[in-house]
Amino acid sequence: MERVYNFSAGPSVIAESVLKKAQAELVNYGDAGMSVMEMSHRSPVYQAIIDETESILRGLLKIPDDYSVLFLQGGASSQFAMIPLNLANGSGKIDLVLTGQWATKACQEASKYCEVNVVGSSKEQNFSCIPALDKSKFNPAADYFYICANNTIYGTRFAELPECGNVPLVADMSSCILSEEINVADYGLIFAGAQKNMGPAGLTVVIIRKDLIGKAREFTPTMFDYAIHDKNGSMYNTPPTFAIYVCKLVLEWLRDEIGGIAAMQEINRKKAAMFYDYLDSSKLFKPTVHGKDRSFMNIPFVTGNEDKDKAFVKAAAAAGFVNLKGHRSVGGMRASIYNAMPVEGVKKLVDFMRAFEKENV
Ligand SMILES: *Cc1c(COP(=O)(O)O)cnc(C)c1O
């Protein structure tokens, strides 16, 4: 069978050249005489891999020197606890914007360890927008201000960052990291599960300002203490060695084949514009998000008729466009068009949708 166009929300598409490189090196890495999977994480050859991964990531995102990069496990979801355990150590209060299921989970988990002040919510709009924020509700003594930068399920993104002043901004970038230029210095902490834009599942990347490290609360489990991982170069215990290696290949692809994040951003804007332009003009498919809050990565859309939705998802899959079924909380369809989805994949899907529309309105 040929490779399909995979619009999965995560784990998601990885560039074919990355997979081929991993395949070519799978059995015998360089002159190591063994697979990366079989290597000691403490060997010089593996140390070179993790060092290079960090170095390319720092180059791509222009990460300042006063930030640490940690390669962790436990998924983005473990960060929902790890962040408050490490950062909610002053007033014991945090500010948070409720923009979807991932922010809600982060809110629930943080509530076990600190007082969460929800400064805005779009729940009543079924999270179809980013709520307008009233700065007077922000707590200047908050230990941090939490957002989910791109809402994978609902297809919204923060187009502007909240003005939280000296309160460190913490952002879940699981589904948008490396997709557009950011200024790392605007954030206290950025985290992302790797399985959307960085590689395979099993790796979670944390970028944290160094002054926020070393203040974990006394009951914090050792494995949940940023200082432990920072001090040990992400090797307090065995890191997800193979996932980090594939992440390195993805970063090399982004740097060498795409040309870096500015170039990636342009491609992503082009893909999203092509998709939204069609949705806005379609008589069959309707986007669920409008205006400036639209995500460049995850695009939910509906026909308004469940049977038609189902028929479309089925026909699309048969034509080689897979994983288009929407999340159950939004219904309809969702196309995740992460970095590794080529322009051509989006163009072909839109052409297919046009043809489907002609036969079904
Ligand atoms: C996928 C996702 C998560 C969950 O990631 P896990 O690694 O499965 O825990 C959290 N936040 C966002 C924004 C996501 O897209």
DSSP secondary structure, 199-235, as one string: SSTT-EEEEEEGGGSS---TT--GGG-HHHHHHTTT-
Which protein residue has the closest C-alpha to ligand 1 atom 5?
76
The pLDDT value given to residue 154 = 98
Distance CA 44, CA 42 (A): 7
What residues line ligand 1, using a CB cutoff of 6 Å? 10, 75-77, 102, 148, 152, 172, 174-175, 193, 196
Residue 269 has what DSSP assignment? H
The pLDDT value given to residue 78 = 98
Which protein residue has the closest C-alpha to ligand 1 atom 7?
75
Which atom of ligand 1 is nearest to 193's Cα?
Answer: 7
Which protein residue has the closest C-alpha to ligand 1 atom 14?
174
Strands in 333-336's sheet, in edge-to-edge order, are 286-287, 298-302, 333-336
Q: Is 32 exposed, middle or buried (0-12, 13-18, 19+ CB in 10 A)?
A: middle
Helices 343-360 and 261-281 meet at what angle, rounded to 10? Answer: 0
Which atom of ligand 1 is nearest to 150's Cα?
Answer: 13
Which residues does the annotation mark as catalytic? 102, 172, 196
Which residues 6+ apart lie within 8 Å of 92 measured at CB? 114, 115, 143
How remote is the CA of residue 76 from the centroid of ligand 1, in Å?
5
Q: Is 211 exposed, middle or buried (0-12, 13-18, 19+ CB in 10 A)?
A: exposed
The pLDDT value given to residue 361 = 82
What sign results for the dihedral spanned by CA atoms 32, 43, 193, 295? negative
How remote is the CA of residue 101 from the centroid of ligand 1, in Å?
10
How remote is the CA of residue 30 from the centroid of ligand 1, in Å?
33
Specify the pTM: 0.98
The continuous run of DSSP H or E covering 264 comes out as: helix 261-281
- Following CA atoms 255, 258, 261, 263 in sequence, which dihedral angle do they give, to the nearest 10 degrees? 140
Which protein residue has the closest C-alpha to ligand 1 atom 12?
174
How remote is the CA of residue 86 from the centroid of ligand 1, in Å?
20
Which protein residue has the closest C-alpha to ligand 1 atom 4?
76
User: Would you say 346 and 275 are in contact if contact means Cβ atoms under 8 Å apart?
Assistant: yes
Domains of the chain: 5-15+259-360 (3.90.1150.10), 17-258 (3.40.640.10)
For a mutational test of ligand 1's pocket, the pick from 73, 105, 127, 152, i.e. the residue with the most ligand atoms closer than 8 A to its C-beta, is 152
Please count the CA atoms within 13 angstroms of the CA of 306 that sit on its side-chain side. 3
Which atom of ligand 1 is nearest to 204's Cα?
Answer: 7
Which amino acid, 69?
A: V
For a mutational test of ligand 1's pocket, the pick from 127, 174, 329, i.e. the residue with the most ligand atoms closer than 8 A to its C-beta, is 174
Q: What angle do CA 44, 245, 199 make, to 5 degrees?
A: 165
For residue 264, give the nearest of 150, 173, 181 by alpha carbon: 181
The pLDDT value given to residue 282 = 98
pLDDT in tens, the chain (361 residues): 899 999 999 999 999 999 999 999 999 999 999 999 999 999 999 999 999 999 999 999 999 999 999 999 999 999 999 999 999 999 999 999 999 999 999 999 999 999 999 999 999 999 999 999 999 999 999 999 999 999 999 999 999 999 999 999 999 999 999 999 999 999 999 999 999 999 999 999 999 999 999 999 999 999 999 999 999 999 999 999 999 999 999 999 999 999 999 999 999 999 999 999 999 999 999 999 999 999 999 999 999 999 999 999 999 999 999 999 999 999 999 999 999 999 999 999 999 999 999 999 8
How remote is the CA of residue 358 from the centroid of ligand 1, in Å?
36
Q: What is the largest CA-CA distance in the chain?
A: 63
Which atom of ligand 1 is nearest to 195's Cα?
Answer: 7
Distance CA 259, CA 196 (A): 19
How remote is the CA of residue 100 from the centroid of ligand 1, in Å?
12
